[in-house]
Amino acid sequence: MSKVRETYEIRQFRQGDADRFATLYEAVFEATPPDEWFDWKYRDNPFVDHVPITVAVDGDGTLVGARPLLALPMAAGSRKFLALQPGDTMVHPDHRRQGLFTRMTERTIERYHDHEAALFFNFPNEKSGPGYRKLGWRDVGEVTTYYRIQSPGAWLDAGSIPDAAADLIADGYNRVRDALATAPDDVAVERYEEIPAELVASQYRSRIPDGFHANRSVRYLRWRFRNPEWTYRTYVARDACERPIGAAVVGTQIDGGRTIAKLTDVVPPTAGRRELAALLSAALSDHDGADTIAAPACLPRDVLSQVGFHPDTAPTLSLASTTMNHVARPATVDADDWTLFGRSVTDADNWALTFGEQDTS
Residue type, 28: V
Closest C-alpha to 263, from 130, 92, 145, 165: 145
pLDDT of residue 290: 94
pLDDT of residue 37: 97
- Residue 45 CA to residue 154 CA, distance in Å, equals 35
pLDDT of residue 282: 95
pLDDT of residue 140: 98
Residue 245 has pLDDT above 60, yes or no: yes
pLDDT of residue 277: 92
Q: Higher pLDDT residue, 180 or 273?
A: 273
Cβ–Cβ under 8 Å, residues 292 and 298: no
Per-residue pLDDT tens over the stretch 255-300: 888 999 999 999 987 778 889 999 999 999 999 999 999 999 999 9
Cβ–Cβ under 8 Å, residues 126 and 137: no
Q: Tell which CATH classification among 3.40.50.720, 3.30.465.10, 3.40.630.30, 3.30.230.70 matches the domain 145-311.
A: 3.40.630.30
In this prediction, what percent of the chain has a pLDDT beyond 90?
74
Q: Tell which CATH classification among 3.90.1170.50, 3.30.465.10, 3.40.47.10, 3.40.630.30 matches the domain 9-143+323-357.
A: 3.40.630.30
pTM over 0.85: yes
Q: Higher pLDDT residue, 114 or 48?
A: 48
Q: Higher pLDDT residue, 169 or 100?
A: 100
Average pLDDT score over the chain: 89
- Residue 288 CA to residue 67 CA, distance in Å, equals 38
Q: What is the mean pLDDT of residues 324-349?
A: 90
Relative to beta strand 63-76, strand 90-91 is antiparallel
Residue 333 has pLDDT above 80, yes or no: no
| Confidence tier at 3 by pLDDT (50, 70, 90) | low
pLDDT of residue 314: 83
pLDDT of residue 176: 52
Q: What is the mean pLDDT of residues 194-217?
A: 96
- Residue 256 CA to residue 258 CA, distance in Å, equals 5
Closest C-alpha to 189, from 241, 246, 261, 272: 246
Looking at the chain, which residues constitute the CATH 3.40.630.30 domain(s)?
A: 9-143+323-357, 145-311
| Confidence tier at 158 by pLDDT (50, 70, 90) | very low
- What are the DSSP E strand ranges found in the chain? 9-12, 53-57, 63-76, 79-86, 90-91, 117-122, 138-143, 145-149, 188-192, 213-214, 231-238, 244-255, 258-267, 292-296, 310-311, 324-330, 339-340, 343-344
Per-residue pLDDT tens over the stretch 15-51: 999 999 999 999 999 999 999 999 999 999 999 999 9
pLDDT of residue 171: 59
Residue 360 has pLDDT above 50, yes or no: yes
- Residue 270 CA to residue 300 CA, distance in Å, equals 9
Give DSSP secondary structure letters for 299-354: S-HHHHHHTT-EETTSTTGGGTS--EEEEEEESSSS----EETTEETT-GGGB---
In this prediction, what percent of the chain has a pLDDT beyond 70?
89
pLDDT of residue 110: 92
pLDDT of residue 143: 93
Q: Higher pLDDT residue, 317 or 289?
A: 289
